[in-house]
Amino acid sequence: MKVLILAICISVLSACSLNHGRPIANLKYEKTERLRTTGIYQVYFKSDVELLGLFKSSIGRGLVCSLTSDLDFSQAHRIKQSGFGFIERVSPDSLIYRADVIFDESVDDEGGERRLKGETLDPFLKARDSFSCVYRVHSTTYKTYFSKIMQIPSADLLTTGHAK
């Protein structure tokens, strides 16, 4: 009887995080523009999957980037130098998206952050030819969704960051 109750509990709890079964998106980088002097970098990219309609309800969704070799994009993990941006579709007729990405650096173990832009962002960009980003969605019912990794050329942000 105890084994039966344990088996029922395990099956009920495992149902809390179902596999989403959605196609994994391939993202293709297009360009980056800097939004005036705000420190927001508008990253344009294409997807082979409609990203905004993947789930009926989601807790959070956006483009997550790592300026380091740390590619653990899970919600529970904190990437020391990272970027995040909410995405929107550029045109209703295409699968081209724009993410307004803000870069930060974790400065302590208690959640402190320092905003990275312009001269404070440049050393991280100059350290590598490109950096990695994924589209991540948390759903209330399913396991976290991750696209495939997209590479963004670091030089595009350096050039954009020094314009005007």
Q: Give one DSSP letter per residue of 128-143, joined into a string.
A: -SEEEEEEEEEESSBP
The overall longest dimension of the chain from CA atoms, in Å, is: 73
Residue pair 34/162 in contact by the 8 Å Cβ criterion = no
Q: Is 70 helix (H, G, I), strand (E, B) or coil?
A: coil
Q: Which amino acid is at 39?
A: G
> Does residue 151 lie in a domain region?
yes
Domains held by the chain: number: 1
The pLDDT averaged over each successive group of 10 residues in the chain (164 residues) is: 45 49 90 89 94 78 93 84 94 92 86 87 94 90 88 86 43
Whether residue 29 lies inside any domain: the answer is no
Residue 57 lies in a domain: yes
Residue 23, in any domain of the structure: no
Q: Is residue 44 part of a domain?
A: yes
76 in any annotated domain: yes
Residue 24 within a domain: no
Structure tokens at 59: 């807790």
